[in-house]
Structure 1
């Protein structure tokens, strides 16, 4: 079974915890992505920022995205997967936490991102179908 290291996208761009959300939104648009890892000045992962976070937690509340930092939206410890964890563990972690993307860490270093699509390309249909169902369930 493939590991996260074999499935991940290793060209990862972080948004700095001190960067404002206008900068984050521009970077997402430039990269064509819907989420970015939030990294501190120590290059450690602080969380994940999604386009939905910007819309729901900032714009919908009438806050100025130019004055809110990515770090303000980082909620506790980010859910991650180890670089050597296998696809089954990736699926379990995604389902448990209802996420579609996981930062991949090697020790304390962010080395990539693994997405549902990455896992789907490498596995039979049934486990992937079960995952999509699990992360799509409402609380």
Structure 2
């Protein structure tokens, strides 16, 4: 049984909820990633911020990315996966919530991120197609 811990990208870098979206974009560029977990001042996960969120919810609406706080874009409770959850649970969670990236939690601590590509590399071919199809439909 393959677990989230085995396929995740470890050491996820957070953007603080009080940091600007501009700073988030800079971090994404520096790290070469398309999403960052949003962490509050209490070190708890508040959500995920994607490059698409920045384009659609900030730039596309004429807002100043230097003025918008990352935490303003966190939506509800963050969808996460446990570090010891298996690929079946990861698949179920991604499909149910239509997310391509899942923060991996060990207790209350963020330990990594599992992306759609990480899961795809760990699955037999038929299940990969099912995952891609499930996440690509509205």
Please state which band the TM-score falls in when normalised by the shorter chain.
Answer: over 0.9
Report the equivalent of 2:107: 107
**Superposition CA RMSD, Å:** 0.7
Say which SS state the counterpart of residue 60 (structure 1) adopts. Answer: helix
Written as runs of structure 1 = structure 2, the 5 A alignment for 1:1-139 is 1-138=1-138
Q: Distance in 1 between matches of 2:137 and 2:123?
A: 22
- Unaligned ranges ≥5, structure 1: none
Say which SS state the counterpart of residue 38 (structure 1) adopts. Answer: strand
Deviation at 1:11, TM superposition (A): 2.1
- Aligned residue pairs total 138
Say which SS state the counterpart of residue 23 (structure 1) adopts. Answer: helix
Deviation at 1:122, TM superposition (A): 1.4
How does the TM-score come out when normalised to structure 1? Answer: 0.97
- Unaligned ranges ≥5, structure 2: none
Q: Deviation per CA, 1:37-92, whole angstroms, max 9, x where unpaired? A: 00011111000000000000011111100100000000111100011100011011
Say which SS state the counterpart of residue 9 (structure 2) adopts. Answer: coil
Q: Runs (4+) of structure 1 moved beyond 2 Å? A: none
Q: Distance in 2 between matches of 1:129 and 1:84?
A: 24
How does the TM-score come out when normalised to structure 2? Answer: 0.98
